[in-house]
Each structure stands twice: as structure tokens, then as C-alpha cells.
């Protein structure tokens, strides 16, 4: 069994209380690693380490060229340990080794590379000469915020940790990362990789422990300047409350119920596979999954049949087998949530035309079959609430305007897609969708150069790219006035006679 401590101030440590827990492999339900469990005292210690490093200026005082170089070394460090990281991600979270090798590891490394680029393209200081109201030179300066906290979910543990660490480092901050209790290992390893790449001690700290205690401690700690959170909308609301006590900056990336709109001129064969890829990739445990597939009513039955046929190409199995394309859900809790929602869908009168149960012959592991609901009305709970499993609702629409109306009739606004052979038409629809990302003729493709985040209750702020970098910066205006005697400071006349 592998063992992992907490990563604080550049070194591995046991939790102060000595507590540990076992991380479960969701494919086998067997423990595969022992991990230290931090308590509030450990959380305060991690914040203190981050604050000390910030105050000492060991990182924010490093020239940006050097900071960018360290980010690139982190990317290289991830590449060097690719196999170890891919395996740990699969064992910890139930990702297939195929996904962790082909997507998670390279995307995580790429996040550091793209933030190195974003940093180099960002102007640290911009100078404006102004004549009004008096002649002055105006310096607009970007500075780090200080201690940033990143609270990370279990669906993409390593990638989501990189989305918090990379921009924080690029902008010159120090960080404390709290991974999800189910999936702590790869985030912890990232702490070590950052350190080995030359990040000074105390700048990146990673501690695993319960959200209800250490998550709350971190999100309310007075020395923390910013909290970045990815997870459920419910906990997101709580984070906002906790952060409000000391008016911290907050970015939130929350739930979704994203529309995948199949226009009537789409290539239906491709779109049907896309509808499956949009919902069943990583067992549907993706915040921007296209869980509401909108299909024109004349094409509806044909389309549902194509989806059912296409699902036979999905292979469930051992996550460590490169041929497996779909693994288990992350936990028993998540399995129960999915099972419960399938019951809700049936009770609401939707028709379960595929799946709806544990796959036959798979007794061990939190596996759930790809599940398709037809005859779904957008008002149903299965169309409004995030399920976070392999369950897709196929919803009929009358015409384009109706499709847009249904797409936007959601408290969420994270992702979505439009499928059409007419790009202009698809663009016209994409512009009307109230979500932070819209794909045309693609799904799930994120790029660390471009912003990601949600409208409405899917979030606050944006991650990735220049937009993501700015969320980790304070902006200072330095006004440099003329060095002239009082009688030339004309505005003094408003007070002095």
C-alpha cells in the first residue's frame, strides 16, 4: 500500500493528530493508498507557511521570466512522472488509464505551459500619460493577491489542482490546495513536483482532509486572500458565505446541466456519437457534460435509436486496461446518487431506453451502465438537476427558437454544444446560449488558453487563459503627480482660500 502525508512548506509531514485514511480504488472497492488526514490545526499551519513565504517575497519577488521557467519545469516534471501520475489518477478516482494517460496527464502539464505563456504575454506595468485633471503619469500595476486557497473536486483531481496552482503561481501568489477526500493522491504529488521544479518552500502546500472542517477553515481564514473552488453549487454557496467574513476574492466553478443541441441539418450519425461522448465520457462525472440532448421532434425517434446503437461501442471494464473506455463512478455515494436519480426519472414518467442499472456481470466496483432517458420534459428533475453520472436526458423540440428556449431554461449555464452542417446557423444559435462555453460540432474540448466558467448558478469568474490569470491578480493604480509648489496644485483651491 502506498503512503502519502501532507505536503507543507516543501516537505512531507504526518497530520498533527496522526490521523490517516485509506483511499479506495472505485473499480475494485479495495484500498490502494494510505493518506494523512489534516485537521484545522494542520490547515492553519499550511496557511501560515504560505503567508510566511508570501511575506518573505521568495516567489512574488522572482522575475516573471524565471517564474515562467519554473512553470515550464513543472510541466516537464509532470511529463517525467506521467506513468505514475496516470496510474495514481486511475486508482484514486476511477478514471480509465486510457483517459488519465491521454487526457489528464498531458492537459495538466499543458495548463502550466499555457499559464507560463499567459504570464509572459501579461503586462506587469502599463504606463499612461494623462493631462486631466492635472498632468500625471499613471502606472497600472499587477500584483499577486497573497495566499490563495484552491478547493478541488474528485472528478479531475490532478487537472483541477493544476487549474488552481498554475495561475496562482504565474501571478506570484502562494497557495494551499485541498483535494477532495476521495481523491487526494495526485494533488499531493503535484506539491512535490512543484517543489522539485524549483518552487520555493511554503509557496505550494497541499493538504487532504474533510471539506466540512479544513475546507471551512481555509475558506474563512483571515490570512487567505482568495478562494478558488470547483464542486457542487451547494458547497459553492457556502464558500461564498465563508469568504464574505473577510471579503475574500472568490472564483467558483460549479454544477451544470448543459444543452447539447442537435439542429435538424446536423450529420445525425456523428451527432448521436457526440451526444454519447458528451455524457458518458468519464462516466458523466464532468461539470460541463451535455446531459440535455435536444433533438428536433421529427428526427427524435431515429436519433434515440442511433444513440442506443452507438452505445455498444463503449466498453466498461478494469480501469487499468487500456481497452476499457468507461470505468466506475468515484464512490458508493455517487453510485447511490445516480441510482436514485434513475428512479426519479422513471417516477416522473421518462422512458429509460438504455441502462438504468449496474452492468450485468460486474458485481465489484461502483460501475453503472450508460443510461438514456427518452421522452424527457425539460421541467422534470432529471432535466434540471445535476446527476453527475452516465445518465442523459433526450428532449424533443419544435424549432430553433424552441431549442434555444429549452437550452436556457436552466439555473445552470456552464457548457453546451450546437451540431449543424451550417456553421453560420450554428453560430447564430451559439450566441443565444447563456453558458460560458459553447462548442460547435465538438464536445468536451477545453483549451488552457481560453476562459472556462459559468453563467448563472454555474459559477463566478473564469479560469484559464489571460482571464484566469487576472483572477489571481490585484490591480494597482499608481498616480505620479508633478513635483510642483502648492500654488500650482490648482485643485487645492477647492479647500484653501
* Interaction of residue 23 with Mg ion, rule CB under 5 A: yes
- Applying CB under 6 A, among 211, 278, 328, 356 the residue interacting with ligand NAP is 211
Catalytic residue among 217, 253, 386, 434: 253
82-93 helix and 105-121 helix, angle to the nearest 10 degrees = 120
198 Cβ contact partners less than 8 Å away, ≥ 6 residues apart: 70, 73
Rounded distance between C-alpha atoms, residue 182 and residue 115, angstroms: 28
Q: Give all strands of the β-sheet with 174-178 in edge-to-edge order.
A: 11-13, 6-8, 204-206, 174-178, 147-151, 224-230, 249-253, 459-460
Contact partner at residue 24 from Mg ion, ligand NAP, none, CB < 5 to 8 Å by partner kind: Mg ion
Rounded distance between C-alpha atoms, residue 322 and residue 454, angstroms: 33
Among the residue ranges 8-16, 86-94, 234-242, 243-251, the one whose residues contact ligand NAP (CB under 6 A):
234-242
DSSP 360-417: TT--SSS----EEEES--TTSHHHHS---SSEEEEEEESSHHHHHHHHH-SSEES--E
In whole angstroms, how far apart are CA 18 and each of 15, 41, 47, 213, 214?
5, 12, 19, 16, 15
Rounded distance between C-alpha atoms, residue 386 and residue 383, angstroms: 8
Contact partner at residue 386 from Mg ion, ligand NAP, none, CB < 5 to 8 Å by partner kind: ligand NAP
- Applying CB under 6 A, among 148, 151, 171, 271 the residue interacting with ligand NAP is 151
Residue nearer to ligand NAP on the CB measure, 204 or 429: 204
Contact partner at residue 23 from ligand NAP, Mg ion, none, CB < 5 to 8 Å by partner kind: Mg ion
Active site residue 148: no
* Interaction of residue 426 with ligand NAP, rule CB under 6 A: no
Residue nearer to ligand NAP on the CB measure, 70 or 187: 187
Among the residue ranges 7-15, 228-236, 321-329, 486-494, the one whose residues contact ligand NAP (CB under 6 A):
228-236
Select from 301, 276, 277 the least CA-distant residue to 372.
276
Contact partner at residue 166 from ligand NAP, Mg ion, none, CB < 5 to 8 Å by partner kind: none
* Interaction of residue 184 with ligand NAP, rule CB under 6 A: no
* Interaction of residue 181 with Mg ion, rule CB under 5 A: no
- Applying CB under 6 A, among 153, 167, 259, 461 the residue interacting with ligand NAP is 153
- Applying CB under 6 A, among 89, 92, 104, 386 the residue interacting with ligand NAP is 386
Rounded distance between C-alpha atoms, residue 230 and residue 319, angstroms: 24
Query: Which residues between 298 and 357 bind ligand NAP (CB under 6 A)?
Result: 337
Residue nearer to ligand NAP on the CB measure, 253 or 400: 253
* Interaction of residue 155 with ligand NAP, rule CB under 6 A: yes
Cβ count near 135 (within 10 Å): 12
* Interaction of residue 24 with Mg ion, rule CB under 5 A: yes
Distance of CA 204 to the CA centre of its chain: 18
Rounded distance between C-alpha atoms, residue 148 and residue 262, angstroms: 41
- Applying CB under 6 A, among 32, 341, 388, 443 the residue interacting with ligand NAP is 388
In whole angstroms, how far apart are CA 470 and each of 171, 249, 278, 404, 467?
8, 12, 30, 32, 5
* Interaction of residue 254 with ligand NAP, rule CB under 6 A: yes
- Applying CB under 5 A, among 42, 92, 117, 339 the residue interacting with Mg ion is 92
- Applying CB under 6 A, among 73, 81, 98, 178 the residue interacting with ligand NAP is 178
Query: Which residues between 274 and 303 bind ligand NAP (CB under 6 A)?
Result: 287
Phi, psi of 239 (to 5 degrees): -60, -45
Residue 470, all three cell numbers: 487576472
DSSP, collapsed to helix, strand or coil, labels residue 452 as strand
Dihedral (CA of 280, 284, 289, 291) sign? positive
Distance of CA 73 to the CA centre of its chain: 23
Number of residues in contact with ligand NAP under rule CB under 6 A: 28
Residue nearer to Mg ion on the CB measure, 92 or 339: 92
Instruction: Give the footprint of Mg ion on this chain (CB under 5 A).
Output: 23-24, 92, 182
Q: Under the rule (CB under 6 A), what is the footprint of ligand NAP?
A: 151-155, 178, 180-182, 210-212, 215-216, 219, 230-232, 235, 238-239, 253-255, 287, 337, 386, 388
Q: Which residues are catalytic?
A: 253, 287
Amino acid at each position: 500500500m502506498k503512503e502519502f502525508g501532507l505536503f507543507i512548506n516543501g516537505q512531507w509531514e504526518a497530520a498533527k493528530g496522526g490521523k490517516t485514511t485509506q483511499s479506495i480504488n472505485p473499480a475494485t472497492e479495495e484500498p490502494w493508498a494510505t493518506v494523512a488526514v489534516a485537521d484545522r490545526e494542520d490547515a492553519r499551519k499550511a496557511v501560515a507557511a504560505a503567508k510566511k513565504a508570501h511575506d518573505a517575497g521568495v516567489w512574488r519577488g522572482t522575475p516573471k521570466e524565471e517564474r515562467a521557467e519554473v512553470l515550464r519545469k513543472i510541466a516537464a516534471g509532470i511529463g517525467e512522472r506521467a506513468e505514475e501520475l496516470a496510474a495514481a489518477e486511475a486508482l484514486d478516482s476511477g478514471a480509465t488509464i486510457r483517459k488519465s494517460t491521454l487526457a489528464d496527464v498531458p492537459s495538466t502539464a499543458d495548463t502550466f505551459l499555457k499559464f507560463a505563456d499567459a504570464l509572459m504575454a501579461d503586462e506587469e506595468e502599463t504606463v499612461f500619460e494623462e493631462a486631466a485633471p492635472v498632468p500625471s503619469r499613471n502606472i497600472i500595476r499587477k500584483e499577486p493577491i497573497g495566499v490563495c486557497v484552491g478547493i478541488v473536486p474528485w472528478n479531475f483531481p490532478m487537472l483541477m489542482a493544476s487549474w488552481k496552482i498554475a495561475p496562482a503561481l504565474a501571478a506570484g501568489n502562494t497557495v494551499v490546495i485541498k483535494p477532495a477526500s476521495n481523491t487526494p493522491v495526485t494533488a499531493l504529488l503535484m506539491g512535490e513536483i512543484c517543489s522539485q521544479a524549483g518552487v520555493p518552500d511554503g509557496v505550494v502546500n497541499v493538504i487532504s482532509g474533510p471539506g466540512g472542517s479544513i475546507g471551512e477553515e481555509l475558506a474563512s481564514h483571515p490570512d487567505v486572500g482568495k478562494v478558488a473552488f470547483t464542486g457542487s453549487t451547494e458547497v459553492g454557496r457556502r464558500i461564498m458565505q465563508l469568504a464574505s467574513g473577510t471579503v475574500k476574492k472568490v472564483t467558483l466553478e460549479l454544477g451544470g446541466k448543459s444543452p447539447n443541441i442537435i439542429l435538424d441539418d446536423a450529420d445525425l450519425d456523428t451527432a448521436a456519437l457526440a451526444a454519447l461522448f458528451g455524457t458518458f465520457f468519464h462516466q458523466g462525472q464532468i461539470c460541463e457534460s451535455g446531459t440535455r440532448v435536444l433533438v428536433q421532434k421529427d428526427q427524435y425517434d431515429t436519433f434515440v435509436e442511433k444513440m442506443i446503437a452507438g452505445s455498444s461501442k463503449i466498453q466498461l471494464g478494469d480501469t487499468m486496461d487500456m481497452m476499457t473506455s468507461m470505468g466506475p463512478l468515484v464512490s458508493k455515494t455517487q453510485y447511490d446518487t445516480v441510482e436514485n436519480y434513475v428512479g426519479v426519472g422513471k417516477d416522473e414518467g421518462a422512458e429509460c431506453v438504455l441502462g438504468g442499472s449496474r452492468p450485468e456481470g460486474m458485481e465489484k466496483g461502483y460501475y453503472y451502465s450508460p443510461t438514456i432517458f427518452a421522452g424527457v420534459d425539460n421541467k422534470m428533475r432529471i432535466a434540471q438537476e445535476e446527476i453527475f453520472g452516465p445518465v442523459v436526458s433526450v428532449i424533443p423540440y419544435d424549432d430553433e427558437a424552441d431549442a434555444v428556449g429549452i437550452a436556457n431554461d436552466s439555473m445552470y449555464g456552464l457548457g453546451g454544444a450546437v451540431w449543424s452542417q451550417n456553421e453560420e446557423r450554428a453560430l447564430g444559435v451559439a450566441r443565444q446560449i447563456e453558458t460560458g462555453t459553447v462548442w460547435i460540432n465538438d464536445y468536451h474540448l477545453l483549451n488552457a488558453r481560453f476562459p472556462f466558467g459559468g453563467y448563472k448558478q454555474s459559477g463566478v469568474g473564469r479560469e484559464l487563459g489571460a482571464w484566469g490569470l487576472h483572477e489571481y491578480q490585484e490591480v494597482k493604480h499608481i498616480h505620479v503627480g508633478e513635483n510642483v509648489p502648492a500654488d500650482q496644485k490648482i485643485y487645492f483651491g477647492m479647500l484653501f482660500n
